[in-house]
Structure 1
Amino acid sequence: MSAPTVRVLYIDDEENNLNSFKASFRRQYEIYTAISAFEGLKILQSVSIQVIIADQKMPGLTGVEFFKSITETFPDPIRILLTGYTDVESLADAINHGDIYRYITKPWNDLELHNSIKNAYDAYKAKIDLRNKVSELEKTNDELNRFIYSISHELRAPLVSVIGVLNLVKMEDLYHSSGEYWSMIENCSNKLDYYIQKTLQYYKNNKTVSENTDIDFNTLTYDLLEVYSLADRETVFKIKIDQQHRFSGDAFRIEVILGNLISNAIKYQKEEETHKKVSIDIQVTQLEAEIIINDNGIGILNEHLERIFTQFFKSSTLSGSGLGLFIVKEALNKINGKITVSSDEINGTTFKINIPNAQSN
């Protein structure tokens, strides 16, 4: 198998250097030469170049300046700088900004320059291969996510039917007619429903484009409480909402954030607690919404506070999928929000969320 053709562009304002370079390397590489940065740019626009060599001291644009000027438009070619004098400051600046791969002093040594071009081409191939692999992985990941979403969505239909049958059993007062079997079915169904909902939330949060609409926190909060408080009628909610300013934000993600935090505040109450309580304090300004959710539940161990937003993290004290708080953090990242948490086993847990008001932009 023949070696791949390496396309090299050499830019120098001295024609003798261009001719010498071409004579030395024309058998090993596909050589293009340009007598100015402008001519080099024209070649780049018409030929897929893999390695660019430029002299530093040229009229108009120096080699470093030329490399910087094409960073965005031609990011792939690997850059080699030729310099006949020592300009440490320019070289350091170019290297720090990633504009050159290597520099070689003039007059060059043919073997050194040949090895540099070979290494530069290897770096070019590695860059392109990595990009292709990333693209393939992104495509595979997207297909996997869509498959999981589709399966989860399809699973919900029969699951809803099972939960419907359980509700009929309760209505006909047959729930305790078969020992604990109906209770076991209900617990398993609720767990499966929880996992499916979290999977769907995760997928939608990753795929849904942020769309800002007006949000009434009073309506949103009480709607969520109506849904989640069904899980525990003993919990007392203390709600304080001060919204005197119009708030614009991503309704889907804000609902996901509040829903998960309210659900957790209810779920992780102490079983022996006789006064279960959750407080929700929302202050809306022209700049942001500040949301504080506090409970007197079991709390979170101090050593776990840094990890609770990690995907699938579970502690010995917290049951669940390990997805809820991860989804909360991911949703906040999508809307430039922030979250902090403080917790102990005596006083419970407090989450503080700050969400920018898109209305102020």
Structure 2
Amino acid sequence: MKSSKRKVIQILYIDDELNNLLAFKAAFRREFEIYTAQSANEGLKLLQEIPVQIIISDQRMPGCSGVEFFRSIVDRYPDPIRILITGYTDSEALIDAINNGHIYRYLSKPWDEMELRNAIHNAFDTYQTRKQLQVNYEELQKTNDELSRFTYSLSHDLRSPLMSILGIIKLSKIEQSVVDPNGYLDIIEQSVNKLDGFILKVIEYYQNSRSENLSETIEFDTLLSEIVENFKLQNNTINYQTAIEQPVPFRGDSFRISVIFNNLISNAVKYQRVDELVPAIWVKVNVDSSRALITLGDNGIGILNEHLDQIFKLFFRAKNTKRTGNGIGLYIVKDALTKIGGTISVQSKLNKGTVFEISIPNLAVEERVLCE
């Protein structure tokens, strides 16, 4: 049976009084691997040669105090846990050292052996926890890098052949070079479009989750006009109505606001009623110095009342329609709003339509306050 060996704690103890160094070694040499120094310079030389987990220093030393020493090494040697021993009440220096992370804790001098032993073990536990967090962070960073490569693969390696398939299908229809009495080409085209739409949503979700928040000047009239024009090209049977009131400048994240509009309008287009003579989507935007209040509605199939508190969940799909989506769009909307400090609410009546109300903070007011 293999015996588990506890890792030996390596300690550097700095004190200008030799008796204190000898007393420390005598008390703890059987438990820890101990290195001693009688000055800050001597301690620094040892740090350059020997990796230690804990540094203990006396506060009052000639030439360089313990706090000053810890402050000077914190950037070069951030990992070791620092303990200060002092026989004097130097409250300002101690408060500064603790607040700025220069020391883990301080003990009174002369030190109590049991108290110092407990402090060392607690400090070592903190050291191990920090090192594990660092390992976890590096693994997370590696995972994020792999996710970035995967998303790149989605946007290029997967979409390229899909676009080729769609191109061939459209060409065959134009040239009428394929006899397709059963409509198989249409089925293939619909399936490819559905798959491509799902890939685009995954890419959009990734971009939304990874992008930094931006603060840009936004003209809602211009932004919304461009978005609506794109949807008109896809479906020109819908009556789009927009009303913008923006008497003051608005600053916000144009990428995420565009994502919000695109997903909500896309859903409104997708879930129109087939028997509606005048399908309509309307958007109202009212901007003031503190926020943009947006109302986006349609006269589509509506949402079941029992689903209203679930529609923003990832991969949720409504049951009152055969036109099932991918369950990502509204989740992205809620996530994007959360990241920019916005809110959203929804009201809906079955076979009557749905209305979303959105509030987005105007960052222009925050920037004015900062500059005043």
Tell whether 2:150 aligns with 1:147.
yes
TM-score by length of 1: 0.75
Contact 2:98 2:105 in 1 (8 A): no
Q: C-alpha distance in 1, partners of 2:79/2:11? A: 5
Alignment CA distance shift 1:142-1:245 (3 Å):
same
1:55-114 alpha-carbon deviations (Å, 9 max, x no partner)? 68732227972553233xx4xx7x345469xxxxxxxxxxxxxxxxxxxxx87353x643
Alignment CA distance shift 1:70-1:251 (3 Å):
closer
Partner residue of 1:328?
333
Contact 1:293 1:352 in 2 (8 A): yes
TM-score by length of 2: 0.73
Alignment CA distance shift 1:155-1:35 (3 Å):
closer
Tell whether 2:342 aligns with 1:338.
yes
Residue 221 of structure 1 deviates from its aligned partner by: 1.7
Identity %: 36
Structure 1 stretch 320-329 or stretch 300-309: which is displaced more?
300-309
1:244-270 alpha-carbon deviations (Å, 9 max, x no partner)? 333343332222221111101111234
- Return the letter of the residue paired with 1:329: K
Residue 26 of structure 1 deviates from its aligned partner by: 4.5
Secondary structure of the corresponding residue to residue 91 of structure 2: coil
Residue 195 of structure 1 deviates from its aligned partner by: 1.3
Contact 2:317 2:326 in 1 (8 A): yes
Contact 1:8 1:52 in 2 (8 A): no
Partner residue of 1:39?
65
Q: Superposed, which structure 2 residues align to 1:197-346 within 5 Å?
A: 197-317=200-320, 319-334=324-339, 336-346=340-350
1:287-318 alpha-carbon deviations (Å, 9 max, x no partner)? 43221111233334455444433333334447
Q: C-alpha distance in 1, partners of 2:316/2:358? A: 21
Q: C-alpha distance in 2, partners of 1:24/1:136? A: 40
Partner residue of 1:356?
361
Alignment CA distance shift 1:49-1:282 (3 Å):
closer
Contact 1:283 1:290 in 2 (8 A): yes
Among 119, 123, 148, the residue aligned to 1:120:
123
Contact 1:339 1:351 in 2 (8 A): no
Secondary structure of the corresponding residue to residue 259 of structure 2: helix
Tell whether 2:185 aligns with 1:193.
no
Q: C-alpha distance in 2, partners of 1:56/1:304? A: 64
Secondary structure of the corresponding residue to residue 314 of structure 1: coil
Q: C-alpha distance in 2, partners of 1:129/1:228? A: 50
Alignment CA distance shift 1:166-1:322 (3 Å):
same
Structure 1 stretch 351-360 or stretch 129-138: which is displaced more?
351-360
Residue 223 of structure 1 deviates from its aligned partner by: 2.2
- Return the letter of the residue paired with 1:149: Y
Residue 194 of structure 1 deviates from its aligned partner by: 0.6
Residue 242 of structure 1 deviates from its aligned partner by: 1.7
- The total of aligned residue pairs comes to 332
Runs of at least 5 residues in structure 1 that lack an aligned partner in the other structure: 85-105
Partner residue of 2:43?
none
Partner residue of 1:90?
none
Contact 1:50 1:124 in 2 (8 A): yes
Structure 1 stretch 174-183 or stretch 280-289: which is displaced more?
174-183
Alignment CA distance shift 1:69-1:123 (3 Å):
closer
- Return the letter of the residue paired with 2:34: E
Partner residue of 1:50?
80
Tell whether 2:98 aligns with 1:68.
yes
Contact 1:56 1:63 in 2 (8 A): no
Contact 2:67 2:93 in 1 (8 A): no
Secondary structure of the corresponding residue to residue 308 of structure 1: coil
Residue 281 of structure 1 deviates from its aligned partner by: 0.4
1:139-181 alpha-carbon deviations (Å, 9 max, x no partner)? 2222222222233223223322333344445545789943221
Runs of at least 5 residues in structure 2 that lack an aligned partner in the other structure: 36-55, 368-372
Tell whether 2:34 aligns with 1:30.
yes
Secondary structure of the corresponding residue to residue 112 of structure 2: coil
Secondary structure of the corresponding residue to residue 280 of structure 1: strand
Among 159, 162, 179, the residue aligned to 1:159:
162
- Return the letter of the residue paired with 2:99: S
Q: C-alpha distance in 1, partners of 2:262/2:23? A: 71
Q: C-alpha distance in 2, partners of 1:182/1:141? A: 38
Secondary structure of the corresponding residue to residue 239 of structure 1: strand
Secondary structure of the corresponding residue to residue 282 of structure 1: strand
Residue 210 of structure 1 deviates from its aligned partner by: 4.4
Q: Say what the alpha-carbon RMSD is for the aligned residues.
A: 3.7
Tell whether 2:135 aligns with 1:132.
yes
- Return the letter of the residue paired with 2:165: V
Partner residue of 1:6?
10
Alignment CA distance shift 1:216-1:306 (3 Å):
same
Secondary structure of the corresponding residue to residue 136 of structure 1: helix
Contact 2:27 2:113 in 1 (8 A): no
Contact 1:57 1:63 in 2 (8 A): no
